[in-house]
Amino acid sequence: MPTNGSRRTFVKSVGAAAGGTALAGAMPLLWGSARAAEALKVGFISPRTGPLAGFGEGDPYVLELVRKSLARGFSAGGTGYAVEILDRDTQSDPARAGQLAKELINGNGIDFMLTTSTPETVNPVSDACEAAGVPCLSTVMPWEAWYFGRGAKPGQPSPFKWTYHFSFGVKNFFDCYVSQWHELPTNKKVGVLYPNDADGNAIREHLIPDLQKAGFTVIDPGPYEDGTSDYSAQIARYKAENCEIFNTFPIPPDFATFWRQASQQGYTKIVKIAQIAKTGLFPSNVEALGSLGDKLATACYWHRDFPYKSSLTGVSSRELADGYERASGKQWNQQLGASLSLFDAGFQALKNSAAAKNKAAVAKALGALNTITIVGKVDFLAGPFPNVSPTSIIGSQWVKSKAGSKFPFDMVITEHANDPKVPVTAKLLPYS
């Protein structure tokens, strides 16, 4: 969030954006009917501080756009509602995430919950909503870690009635990675560093077998605990096995520690493709690595070059990125689109329900949702499970920005196996 001194400028910039194309999706309600209607209360929970703060960095801007678009109210089934969005910061603490959800449900009486960014946020919020019978829509964590990580079993009916999740899954990572890794000649030996958490365990269980079937040799030293400070044993193993491809799903502080040690111990000179998930998402994470951040391969679930626009606010992907940079002075990041897509999909479900304050009707509408958001299609009718809609993950890479840019690195798109509508803008470069 901007400082108090810059808040007026920030809000003014946001308002200008929302006052133009951003209002294209607003519901044309009269002020009087919106005021007269009962308020529709929507919770929004994300991490804005703590180790996962990168995910929430752009949320204040997105929330300003959304609130501006909904300022005149919202209509569903011929009924007008005044919308109140109650946003909360988890501080990257799973226990706090669950507690905040319960407070919004029991203390504030929310009608609908939206939540995003990593199992540490999404799962406890989803669990609280499932237990309380409150419809909840979430995004940005592997859907396997959301679905199976919360107790669902393969081959059995979904245990979830109130909670729905759209996001990338292991197959999306697999398709992206194989497409990306085939762009450079390597020995196809992949050193993996997966943490002992919901993300790491889901990726280990489902991705490694698929990579092996595709002809890659996977070297896995085993799970590590968040906060590990010495990775010498893992690095020695990767060097001994000559792993020219490296893949990891860490929290930002852990990767910074690992990658600096990998450089000091000579492993980065062996790596041709360093494929970084979770940590490699945001400019701030890459900039913190200095020269070691150049040519890190990553993947994006939204990019300023995506060909989609927000169904709620009307802004295009490019307008969202440019507007954020003007308002905040910071480089755009991919969570901007993901957070906005949550409101796109969520309010479309509320509209489809025809009864936005009827929790059962909203949950039913979520299960039948098929819509286009700023990240692309969200379709719960396509499976693989009733509460899950897989979305695309697109291969990308961080490279040094061109002369004249005020930001040190730029994310370029290097493959699009998951969504050919997304334009490829560059070829993958070897890390070393």
Q: Quick: pLDDT tens for 262-301.
A: 999 999 999 999 999 988 888 988 999 999 999 999 999 9
Number of other residues whose CB lies within 10 A of the CB of residue 194 = 24
Residues making up the chain, counted from first to last: 432
User: Could you tell me which residue, 54 or 211, shows the higher pLDDT?
Assistant: 211
Which residues are CB-contacts of 85 (< 8 A; sequence separation ≥ 6)?
Answer: 42, 43, 44, 63, 66, 67, 70
- Give per-residue pLDDT as tens, 210-232: 999 999 999 999 999 999 999 99
In the chain, pLDDT over 70 holds for what percent of residues?
91
pLDDT of residue 278: 83
Q: Please check the confidence at residue 368 and state whether its pLDDT lies above 50.
A: yes
Q: Please check the confidence at residue 10 and state whether its pLDDT lies above 80.
A: no
Question: At 410, is the pLDDT very low, low, confident or very high (cuts 50, 70, 90)?
Answer: very high
CA 335, 315, 170: angle at the middle one, nearest 5?
Answer: 35
Q: What CA–CA distance (Å, rounded) separates 26 from 44?
A: 19
Q: Please check the confidence at residue 14 and state whether its pLDDT lies above 80.
A: no
pLDDT of residue 31: 37
CATH code of domain 4-168+304-390: 3.40.50.2300
pLDDT of residue 15: 43
pLDDT of residue 209: 96
Q: Please check the confidence at residue 26 and state whether its pLDDT lies above 60.
A: no
Of 147-151, 401-405, 418-422, 428-432, the one with minimum mean pLDDT is: 401-405
User: Could you tell me which residue, 402 or 191, shows the higher pLDDT?
Assistant: 191
Domains 4-168+304-390 and 171-300+401-413 equal at CATH topology level: yes
Q: Please check the confidence at residue 248 and state whether its pLDDT lies above 60.
A: yes
Question: At 37, is the pLDDT very low, low, confident or very high (cuts 50, 70, 90)?
Answer: low
pLDDT of residue 32: 40
pLDDT of residue 430: 98
Q: Please check the confidence at residue 17 and state whether its pLDDT lies above 80.
A: no
In the chain, pLDDT over 90 holds for what percent of residues?
84
In the predicted model, what is the mean pLDDT of residues 37-63?
93
Q: Please check the confidence at residue 117 and state whether its pLDDT lies above 90.
A: yes
Number of other residues whose CB lies within 10 A of the CB of residue 153 = 10
pLDDT of residue 285: 87
- Give per-residue pLDDT as tens, 147-171: 999 999 999 999 999 999 999 998 9
Domain ranges of the chain: 4-168+304-390, 171-300+401-413
- At the topology level, CATH places domain 171-300+401-413 in Rossmann fold (3.40.50)
